Structure 1
Amino acid sequence: MRFVSIGLACVSIFLTGAALAADTSNQEANKKVVVEFYDKGLNQKDFEAASKYFGPRYVQHNPNAADGIEGFKGFIGFLREKFPDSHSEIKQVFADGDYVILHVHAVREKGTRGNAIIDIFKLENGKIVEHWDAVQPIPEKSANTNGMF
């Protein structure tokens, strides 16, 4: 009986390790999808290149942005027309299962401080299906010396 218990414990540890490795691999793949999507869409302003990362739907939770894939297409057109030199630098990337979180320094016009942005993406089957964000202007003076990034 003791050997059966030890055997079952070893199998359990092996399966748990395999599941964690698969989850880590999936999270890394999700992070890659979101970073490439962000670069193609926000920095290169190339809707066609960015659109391949969308799933069958794109639910937008930002109340100031139009919903859906067509809403994102309109936003890219707006950036291309009004802020052609805008650039978003991803400072940090985090993943938790099917969620990827970006910490971004976005500058729409050169010479300005820009915004600190937290973007949250949900993926299904390796494709982006939902988006949330929180945007905070970078102030001229800070109450601390820690920096926003």
Structure 2
Amino acid sequence: MATGSRLESNKQIVLDFYQAAFNDKDFDAALRLVGQSYRQHNPLIADGPGGLRVRLDHLKDAFPALKVQVRRLIAEDDHVVAHVHAVRVPGQRGTAIIDIFKLENGKLVEHWDVLQEIPEDALNQNGMF
């Protein structure tokens, strides 16, 4: 069982990764937070830091104004779950994302995600965040 300080540290590592990778587009800083054994469960991204770098490079080229906002983080044991609002093009509604990261020794070593575009019209007024 992870201690409270370990859980907070893991959450900060995930926050630092988002900031570096998506908002600052400082891929070298982002990849310093990724372990060499990085396993990817998104079928569009290859395993390892190299596969992640290819994906981040693609996002930077295709969506240079991409910004993400982490709305909440939940940590348990060696996993951190992030509820994220990503906007690829300013003015668009964006995408609601759930990312799950596994961490070992202060590094991201495994990743899962689920993405859902934010619709123009919703059948309720609850919002996605």
Same-fold call, TM > 0.5? yes
Where in structure 2 are there 5+ consecutive unaligned residues? none
Asked whether the 8 Å contact 1:46–1:76 carries over to 2, the reply is no
| Distance in structure 2 (CA, Å) of the matches to 1:27 and 1:44 | 24
What pairs with 1:89-100 in structure 2 (closer than 5 Å)? 89-100=69-80
* 1:87 and 2:72 are equivalent in the alignment: no
Asked whether the 8 Å contact 2:95–2:117 carries over to 1, the reply is yes
| Distance in structure 2 (CA, Å) of the matches to 1:145 and 1:103 | 19
* 1:45 and 2:14 are equivalent in the alignment: no
Q: Name the SS of the counterpart of 1:84 in structure 2.
A: coil
Asked whether the 8 Å contact 1:99–1:123 carries over to 2, the reply is yes
CA-to-aligned-CA distance 1:12-48 (integer Å, 9 cap, x gap): xxxxxxxx8x611100000001110111012212110
| Distance in structure 2 (CA, Å) of the matches to 1:35 and 1:89 | 10
CA-to-aligned-CA distance 1:122-147 (integer Å, 9 cap, x gap): 00112110000000010011111110
Please point out which of 47, 59, 64 is paired with 1:67. 47
Where relative contact order (Cα < 8 A, 6+ residues apart) is larger, the structure is 2
Q: Post-superposition shift, 1:92?
A: 0.4
CA-to-aligned-CA distance 1:81-112 (integer Å, 9 cap, x gap): 11110001100011001100100000101111
What pairs with 1:64-143 in structure 2 (closer than 5 Å)? 64-143=44-123
State the partner residue of 2:9.
29
State the partner residue of 1:3.
none
Structure number with the higher strand fraction is 2
| Distance in structure 2 (CA, Å) of the matches to 1:148 and 1:113 | 11
Q: Post-superposition shift, 1:66?
A: 2.0
Larger radius of gyration: 1
Structure number with the higher helix fraction is 1
| Distance in structure 1 (CA, Å) of the matches to 2:53 and 2:124 | 38
| Distance in structure 1 (CA, Å) of the matches to 2:100 and 2:6 | 17
Q: Post-superposition shift, 1:56?
A: 2.6
State the partner residue of 1:8.
none
Give identity over the alignment, percent.
50
Superposition RMSD on alpha carbons, in Å? 1.2
